[in-house]
Amino acid sequence: MAHRTPVTTSSGAPVTPDGVALRDLKCNAIDLHRLRSFLGEGEVYQQFKHRFDTADLAWLVAGAHKDGKHFINPDQFHPMWAKARLVRANGKDAIYQARREFRDKLRDLVWDALTVLDRISGGASILIHSPGTVEPGHPLELPFLKFDVYVPQFIGQENPLVDRPLASIVQTFAQEVALPVTRRWRRAFEKLNLKLAEVDTSIEPPSHLPFMPDPKPRTTLYRCHGRSVGELEDMLRLAADTATPRDRDGPARRSGAREVADGVRDKTDDVAASLRAEIAHLQALITEKDGEIAHLRDIIEDRDRDIIRLEEEVDALSHASPLPVAQPLPAVSAPTPTCSPLAVITSPSRRSDPAVQPARHAELRSSTPFSSPFSSMNISSWSSIAPPASSPPSPAPSPTRAMMEWVMPAPYRPSPAPVATTPFAAAVASRSTDRVAASPMRSSALRRFDIVGPRTHAILVAHNLSHTLH
């Protein structure tokens, strides 16, 4: 289809085919048709007619919530009310139907916007709309008020008992908002000298409705009614916390008799009182447990802080410089000292021991001289031991001998090996000589000062005594 050039005014403003500027279009069914006639009704429009019509309506209402034109005089309608009533229809019923269809399209646009808003935000909205009217001929009372309610369906699916607070919200809206608005609507309508249908007082109000009705199929639109004052409160007292969707309507709704509900109310007063007492007891227990839980949480927080502090200390120690470790000095091997006959004789304890007999002294005096297994360490003064009575006085020790005696205490002095005088003694001496020859610590190549400890050796070197010992 060929592109149609839009019609414009002399100033260049676009206008509809019948000469109305687009900026002057109002929110009503007639101007909605004018907008579509300007945009065209080609093949694409016919394919997506519903969406394009909704988009046209959105074009007419865009920016209304922030245009600043919200003031309404008492007992009067907003100026848009009269303009929205303009329709192209003949006959009372046709006009009424055209106005309803336009209003329903606008409501569907609002429901679509709220549904998408909740979906893309992940939140939830509740919208209650009162048209401000009742059905023609119905009395202006709470049970005859009807509301369009928007609630996301997942709210009721995840919490079936949420229908009770929702019913309370709707009832509060009905009593505090919808009923006064409906009365105001009637006063404003009568002020325009318009006539309303006669009220039929024989119409029975609907009663014993469920807390929340089911939504219209595949929609988020709920149609709710007002209730007589006190009706919802009675329903809430009678309702059990475990009510299923089937039982929400109550036996009175299924039987159609109010007397059934009255009888149930009389029989359950005691049960309700008992349940309320139990609920109060459980609430007290919950409060007590909440205090214990808070105390345990404080303990956990304290332990968490202690753990964090210990972790910080461990981390600091792991990054600190290691302390020096003392290394032990190597052990110095020294020959096990043995007690020599001379040491036995000269021992003060032995001299004072009464068990030592003179014959033993004579035997020791007549024994052969001792000889050291260390060939380089033989000392002539040890070659013979004379009896104390017949021996001449010992000469004064030389300086070298005195130094050797000072640097080599008796416990570390090697024991001289006696010369074998008997076959048994000779065998023992032979084995002792072999052991000495096989021991690296008793090699004849050792010097006298080699067998002293490391500290004594350091003293000898410091005083230059090693040459003196040689």
Identify the band that residue 255 occupies on the pLDDT scale cut at 50, 70 and 90.
very low
SS (H, E, C) the chain: CCCCCCCECCCCCEECCCCCEHHHCCCCHHHHHHHHHHHCCCHHHHHCHHHHHHHHHHHHHCCHHHCCCCCCCCCCCCHHHHHHCCCCCCCHHHHHHHHHHHHHHHHHHHHHHHHHHHHHHCCCCCEEECCCCCCCCCCCCHHHCEEEEECCHHHHHHCHHHHHHHHHHHHHHHHHHHHHHHHHHHHHHHHCCCCCCCCCCCCCCCCCCCCCCCCCCCCCEEEEECCCCCHHHHHHHHCCCCCCCCCCCHHHHHHCCHHHHHHHHHHCHHHHHHHHHHHHHHHHHHHHHHHHHHHHHHHHHHHHHHHHHHHHHHHHHHCCCCCCCCCCCCCCCCCCCCCCHHHHHHCHHHHCCCCCCHHHHHHHHCCCCEECCCHHHCCHHHCCCCCCCCCCCCCCCCHHHHHHHHHCCHHHCCCCEECCCCHHHHHHHHHHHHHHHHCHHHCCCCCHHHHCCHHHHHHHHHCCCHHHHC
Please state which of the ranges 87-96, 108-117, 121-130, 199-208 shows the lowest mean pLDDT: 199-208
Helices 399-407 + 454-462 axis angle, to 10: 150
Q: pLDDT, tens digit, for every residue of 172-190?
A: 999 999 999 999 999 999 9
d(CA 99, CA 202): 28
Tell me the average pLDDT across 375-380.
44
Identify the pLDDT of residue 153: 92
d(CA 424, CA 418): 12
Q: State how many domains the chain has.
A: 1
Q: Measure the N-to-C terminal CA separation of the chain; round to a whole number of Å.
A: 134
432 inside domain: yes
Identify the band that residue 198 occupies on the pLDDT scale cut at 50, 70 and 90.
confident
Tell me the average pLDDT across 95-118.
95
410 inside domain: yes
463 inside domain: yes
Please state which of the ranges 97-111, 126-140, 245-259 shows the lowest mean pLDDT: 245-259
Burial class of 169 by CB neighbour count within 10 A (0 to 12, 13 to 18, 19+): middle
Q: Are 234 and 268 in contact (CB under 8 A)?
A: no
Query: Residue 37: is its pLDDT beyond 90?
Result: yes
d(CA 275, CA 175): 30
Q: Where do we find the tokens 């929400």?
A: 248
Identify the pLDDT of residue 380: 45
Distance of CA 65 to the CA centre of its chain: 43
Higher pLDDT, 433 or 227: 227
Identify the pLDDT of residue 163: 93
Identify the pLDDT of residue 9: 63
Identify the pLDDT of residue 381: 44
97 inside domain: no
Domain that holds residue 356: 341-377+397-469
Tell me the average pLDDT across 232-251.
64
Q: Are 251 and 166 in contact (CB under 8 A)?
A: no
Identify the band that residue 334 occupies on the pLDDT scale cut at 50, 70 and 90.
low
191 inside domain: no
Range ranked top by mean pLDDT from 148-157, 336-345, 399-408: 148-157
430 inside domain: yes
Q: Count CB atoms within 10 A of the CB of residue 373.
A: 19
Tell me the average pLDDT across 118-139.
95
What is the dihedral sign for C-alpha 119, 120, 123, 128?
negative
Query: Residue 34: is its pLDDT beyond 90?
Result: yes
Which residues, 6+ apart, have CB-to-CB distance to 13 below 8 Å? 21, 22, 23
Query: Residue 293: is its pLDDT beyond 70?
Result: yes
Identify the band that residue 350 occupies on the pLDDT scale cut at 50, 70 and 90.
very low
Please state which of the ranges 103-117, 209-223, 269-283, 391-405 shows the lowest mean pLDDT: 391-405
Identify the band that residue 330 occupies on the pLDDT scale cut at 50, 70 and 90.
low
Tell me the average pLDDT across 357-368.
50
Query: Residue 406: is its pLDDT beyond 70?
Result: no
Please state which of the ranges 64-73, 248-257, 390-399, 426-435 shows the lowest mean pLDDT: 248-257
Identify the pLDDT of residue 169: 97
Identify the pLDDT of residue 281: 82
To the nearest whole number, what is the mean pLDDT of the chain? 75
Identify the pLDDT of residue 389: 47
Query: Residue 352: is its pLDDT beyond 50?
Result: no
Query: Residue 407: is its pLDDT beyond 70?
Result: no
Identify the pLDDT of residue 419: 47
Tell me the average pLDDT across 39-43.
91
Tell me the average pLDDT across 303-330.
76
Identify the band that residue 247 occupies on the pLDDT scale cut at 50, 70 and 90.
very low
Q: How far is CA 312 from CA 299, 307, 315, in A?
A: 20, 9, 5
Higher pLDDT, 116 or 437: 116
367 inside domain: yes
